[in-house]
Structure 1
């Protein structure tokens, strides 16, 4: 039993004032992924049946490499934001904190690996 009033118990438990930024980032990455998705589908269709040398030459063009990197960054950022929402809504306690950290690390690591792979193929190293 508490001697505090109902108002006193909830003070300081309101909004963290960060929800709008998260919501906006999700929407921006979603719009970016839709636009980049059209490019990606067209790129896959144009490279159907191409051999490795043709594909690496295609990816070696600066515009294609840049759009591929933007696609990877947007996809992993969007995935991290979406998984964060799911974890925050359905997990509690220490598992929640550990899961949030694991998701952020995994998305960053996979995104960095993808970007470096594109750069390696594009540069020819």
Structure 2
């Protein structure tokens, strides 16, 4: 006997496949950002307005570098998941797949570029 709903047959996914995992990832990144954003603002604000040598000396310490890197990584990961959710809701067909790939490529490129810039300033 077949107990599949029409929607499950159409998409090939059940109701509990990835939604719970996505929800928990969003909750973890959201809670992390609650802590990281004020730290990021404090650390970034204290480096603002300094000369390049002072900023490089400031970022050579581990705490500011780690806070800025974690803010960058967690923030961009959270943004990527939000964009993926919007694309999955409103874009269909091949445009959906291409948009998801383009979004992932852009976000990961921004991550690498940001981390490279941080390391270049720190070293």
Give the TM-score of the pair, scaled to structure 2: 0.86
Post-superposition Cα deviations, 1:11-54, rounded to whole Å, max 9, x if no partner, equal 54432511111111111111111211111111233234311111
Q: In the aligned structure 2, how far is the partner of 1:73 from the partner of 1:8?
A: 39
SS at structure 1 position matched to 2:17: coil
For structure 1, the 5+ residue unaligned runs are none
Larger gyration radius, structure 1 or structure 2: 1
73-82 vs 37-46, which moves further: 37-46
Distance 1:25 1:93, change over 3 A: same
Which residues in structure 2 correspond to 1:10-89 (within 5 Å)? 10=6, 12=9, 13=12, 14-15=14-15, 17-89=17-89
- Give the Cα separation in 2 of the matches to 1:35 and 1:8: 43
Root-mean-square deviation (CA), in Å? 1.9
The runs of 4+ residues in structure 1 deviating greater than 4 Å are none
Count of aligned positions: 118
